[in-house]
Amino acid sequence: MARGGVARPEDIDFSLKVYGCRPGKYIENVGWDKDDVWFAHCCMLDTAETKQFADNGIGIAHCPSSNMRLASAMDAREALTVGIKGGARNLGRDDIGEIAPGFAADFVAWKTDAIGFAGGLMDPVAALIYCTPSLGWVDLSVINGEVIVKNGKLQSLDLQALLEEHRQRSEKLCSHLPSWWRTGNKPVEE
């Protein structure tokens, strides 16, 4: 089960005002402090709540670029570690989360000469964490040792053929719609 989380100090104030307790106590009260639950953000947990999450196996999905905009960002290296190792743990996987013998060979790479990295390369890890969402396609993606994306192009299927098939199916699916549907200008009935 996924739930919203505590991204800003105002979220703590809201919890205290509305529920009469901090978020950790609230999730305990409603039975959400289980290992099949994860929350978004949770940047404002206190020490006891952090321990509560760890002890109960509660997952947290961080969004570094969102947290940065909310002024609740964690250090870029910490965010990368949490994203990789914590993401694997959230998925219940012990075969991913690091590049090491016995682990799936999954990784992605971006060219850093793109505009999204402009001005950010004095700290490449921070640039990767905070600038990457604006970049779109990865330049290289390897999943379980197989190259899936190379030079920004999907290798595992013919993307142009798939897009053409999609276009044809979409056209067929929409062919029964009235002609005004394409423009969105429905005639006014008198």
pLDDT at residue 12, as a whole number: 87
Full-prediction pTM beyond 0.75?
Answer: no
Nearest residue to 54 (alpha-carbon basis) of 82, 12, 74: 82
3-state SS class at 39: strand
What is the per-residue pLDDT across 124-173, written as a single tens digit (0 to 9) for each? 888 887 776 555 678 899 998 899 999 988 898 898 999 999 999 998 88
Cα 114 from chain centre:
21
Pair 140, 150: CB distance under 8 Å: yes
What's the confidence (pLDDT) of residue 65?
62
Phi then psi for 2, rounded to 5 degrees? -105, 140
What pLDDT, on the 0 to 100 scale, is given for residue 105? 82
Q: State the chain's mean pLDDT as an integer.
A: 83
Other Cβ atoms less than 10 A from the Cβ of 97: the count is 20
Which residue numbers in the chain have pLDDT < 70?
1-5, 7, 64-73, 132-136, 190
Which residues contact residue 161 at a Cβ distance below 8 angstroms, ignoring those fewer than 6 apart?
none
Which CATH code, of 2.30.40.10, 3.30.420.240, 2.60.120.560, 3.40.50.2300, is assigned to 100-190?
A: 2.30.40.10
CA distance 111 to 8: 33
